[in-house]
Amino acid sequence: MRISIQYPSKTTLDHFHQQEKQLPYTYPEIGASATETLSNYDNDYNHTIIGQGEEAWQKAKQALRDWAHFPPGWTKIYPIAPLEKGEVVVVMIRLWGIWWKNSSRIVYTWDEPNKFGFAYGTLPGHFEAGEEVFWVEKNDRGEVSYHIRAFSKPRFWMAKLGYPIARLYQRKFVLESMKIMVNG
Domain of residue 88, CATH code: 3.30.530.20
Whole-prediction pTM:
0.95
pLDDT in the model for residue 1 = 54
pLDDT in the model for residue 30 = 97
Domain span at 121: 3-183
The number of distinct structural domains making up the chain is 1
pLDDT in the model for residue 165 = 84
pLDDT in the model for residue 103 = 97
Give pLDDT < 70 ranges for the chain.
1
| DSSP states of the chain | --EESSPPPHHHHHHHHHHHHTSPPSSS-TTGGGT---TTSEEEEEEEEEEEHHHHHHHHHHHHHTTTTSPTTTEEEES---S-TT-EEEEEEEETTEEEEEEEEEEEEEEETTEEEEEEEE-TTSSEEEEEEEEEEE-TT-EEEEEEEEEEEE-SHHHHHTHHHHHHHHHHHHHHHHHHHHH-
